[in-house]
Amino acid sequence: MPNAIFFYRIANWCFTHKIPLIPTLMQLIIFIVYASKVPYKCSIGKGSFFVVKGLGVILHDKTVIGKNCSIGAGCKIVGKSPYVNLSKVGDNVYIGPGSVIVGPVIIEDDVIIAPNAVVLKSAPKGSIVGGIPAKII
């Protein structure tokens, strides 16, 4: 069985080329097979992948993820109520399983987010964050 990112790429390509119905169908396949919400409207860079085929991953529609990122099982990238902007994840970022990124935070390049961390503040380049709430280690 292919990774959920495979179905996301098909859905995103069809969405950008304005092909109707297929993006919604692919998103439904991802939801049913992988128990994940990976919307075709979000932006995931080349080389990024979901660990364990993307089981339990939840992404917001406006999420931006850079190149060569590794996203663990059960990760969530969600918004915070009064803010319009959403989280941006840079290139070469490792997001551990069960991590939650909340609000309009910016995760810069080469960051490691520990498993089960709750990230509420931005992380500078090359840092390691972990804990609840996440702090720079």
pLDDT digits (tens, 9 = 90+) for 41-80: 999 999 999 999 889 999 999 899 999 999 999 999 998 8
CA distance 72 to 52: 7
DSSP 42: S
pLDDT-based confidence at 131, cuts 50/70/90? very high
pTM of the full predicted structure? Answer: 0.89
Q: Is the pLDDT of residue 86 over 80?
A: yes
For 95, other C-beta atoms within 10 Å of its C-beta total 28
